[in-house]
Amino acid sequence: MQLRVRGEVVRGSFALRADLDLALEGVAALVGASGAGKSTWLRLVAGFEPDAPALVEVDGERWQAPRQRAMPAHARSVSTVFQEPRLFPHLNARRNLEFAVHAGKREGTRLAFDEVVAALDLAPLLALYPHQLSGGQRQRVALGRALLAPAKLWLFDEPMSALDAQSRREIAPYLHGLCQRHAVPIVYVSHSLPEVLAVADQVLLAADGQVALVDSVSAFSTSFAEPLSGDDPGAVIHCRFQAFDARYRLSELAFGDAKLYVPGDLSAAGPEIALFIPARDVSLSTSSVHHVSILNRVDGEIEALRERGDSVLARVRCDADQGEAECLLARITHRSVDELGLAAGVRVQALIKSVAVRTGDV
């Protein structure tokens, strides 16, 4: 889907300037610090800033243009999950969902009611009213409601912020799968780095009143970019599937000169697999380590260090004779930096304790 957003939205003292022309594909994460204009940008695309002198075009269809009457929100084939659940208080969960099913006749993908209910585990909630639901349950119903409305584009403004880790792990792959099965792109606002990098095919960065596309998710994940590395930084690595060791039930993946062993059979996940490696699960050693239970050891060179709160983030460029060199992030202590003499240019071995396979690919 070709999306063009150009122009300005002024809200009080805040002005968002958008100049973006991109082919949306899969999940595009929209990241940025609070107040950077993420929600305003979503509102502009969804049709809730009809008076803004901006251009919004989707697949060549003009939804909004300066000095023209904007296409109203209900006619745009966009379904939005807002930060707040915004459930209709006088309807129970089932009727909230049905509201979306019978909403209107605009174009777009329509998902089956039963499928959405099953995927989001909504069956036990159907008879309950919004005030009887917990925050996380409300958010799940709101997500289901948005998915049931006909749409060619989904805009999710932190759709899983109120969910527990378990629900997130279950729902993220479902969203990613939907996106691929129905070829409906998702723009996904999130503050949670693992969440973003687990699902994102593209990253849009909102900063200084601008929204721009980030070239490479991998490079961005290790760039120390402030809005992302706040909570739980880590690196996205693209690997090639090599082999599955049935005896130990380990998949062998390769990137650069390095090999990674990941539990489970990933042979079906395609030739290229994206991994998320949290910085907190990466340790550094200045000498080669052998007698250790950690399987995944990657040689490389420290490229940069950045202080982050009580600890230090180190970006390690992994050795690669061929192909693109990938970087890892390691979270280490100040004491380790001093004792090991870590600095840019120092050779290290990165010990990787855990690896998350990108959920959508499983």
Residue (104 or 270) nearer to another protein, CB: 104
CB of 130 to another protein, least distance (A): 11
CB of 46 to another protein, least distance (A): 6
| CA–CA gap between residue 42 and residue 188 (Å, rounded) | 10
Residue (70 or 228) nearer to another protein, CB: 70
CB of 104 to another protein, least distance (A): 3
The answer to whether 9 touches 44, Cβ cutoff 8 Å, is yes
CB of 161 to another protein, least distance (A): 16
Sequence-distant (6+) residues with CB within 8 A of 104 are 74, 150
Query: Sign of torsion, CA 56 61 63 64?
Result: positive
Residue (76 or 331) nearer to another protein, CB: 76
| CA–CA gap between residue 100 and residue 146 (Å, rounded) | 7
Residues found in the chain:
362
| CA–CA gap between residue 52 and residue 217 (Å, rounded) | 31
Exposure of 332 in the CB half-sphere (CA atoms within 13 A)? 28
Least Cα distance to 176 among 11, 43, 25, 52 occurs for 25
Residue (128 or 325) nearer to another protein, CB: 128
CB of 108 to another protein, least distance (A): 8
CB of 323 to another protein, least distance (A): 43
Contacts with another protein, residue ranges (CB under 8 A): 46-48, 72-75, 78-80, 82, 84, 86, 88-91, 99-100, 103-106, 145-146, 149-150
Residue 118 structure tokens: 């099953």
| CA–CA gap between residue 51 and residue 168 (Å, rounded) | 36
CB of 106 to another protein, least distance (A): 5
| Segments in 54-107 forming alpha helices (H) | 93-101
Q: 66: which DSSP letter?
A: T
Residue (12 or 309) nearer to another protein, CB: 12
Residue (90 or 291) nearer to another protein, CB: 90
Residue (89 or 345) nearer to another protein, CB: 89
The 10 Å Cβ neighbour count of residue 16 is: 26
